Chains A and B, each alone.
Chain A
């Protein structure tokens, strides 16, 4: 498995500002994922971040709004830029890591609860 930490755990921000969320993993992983969970909704993949290459964004998400860094195999950041109230969500970092049986499984960090006023 993998132990994932995220900072901050929560924040309240004003519209028009930006917030950078950090994700740290206790082991080296190739693929890291960023998800968004809006109130009452399921998880939606924002982008996949592989070390040494540009992040791959899903339909509806763009790099200017959600720039991602992946400087090494244990760390990534997601920035939510020029925020509006519609960006109020839980943002979750996730990684693929070997499970108990050896197969790769996907684990989630504790999430960052963002409220934009």
Chain B
């Protein structure tokens, strides 16, 4: 059975701190790893990673994938209160039966 494990499950930081969120996985026929931010209802797409060692960056957020060790990290620098959300890691697997398996998420709270 495909498995995605995120850590920590929750994290409280102060504005300006840097945080690192972790995602490890065990899936059959890996195709991609995706990060989402969920504030209210719908997750919003952040990154999709398919190749090891290539950092993806968007503003203060960055992410990298290690396909040998089967994990990814999401970094957020100079955190702001607006970064408070649940961050979800999902792994896409399968061929014609492609699907995403989600981790439980990391609840990030950024205090002023």
User: A residues bordering B, Cβ < 8 Å?
Assistant: 1, 31, 33, 41-45, 48, 56, 58, 90, 92, 94, 96, 99, 103, 105-111, 113
Contact = CB atoms under 8 A, between A and B. Distances in A.
Contacts of A103: 48, 50
Nearest to A6: B42
B53 interface: no
B61 interface: no
A113 B41 contact: yes
Nearest to A110: B42
A106 B88 contact: no
A106 B34 contact: yes
Interface in B62-112: 88, 90, 92, 97-105
B109 to A, nearest CB: 15
Interface of B is mostly: strand
Contacts of B102: 42-44
A43 B86 CA distance: 12
A42 B45 contact: no
The 10 closest A-B pairs by CB, nearest first: A111-B41, A108-B42, A42-B102, A43-B102, A42-B104, A110-B42, A108-B43, A111-B42, A105-B48, A42-B105
Contact of B97 (A44, A48, A94): A48
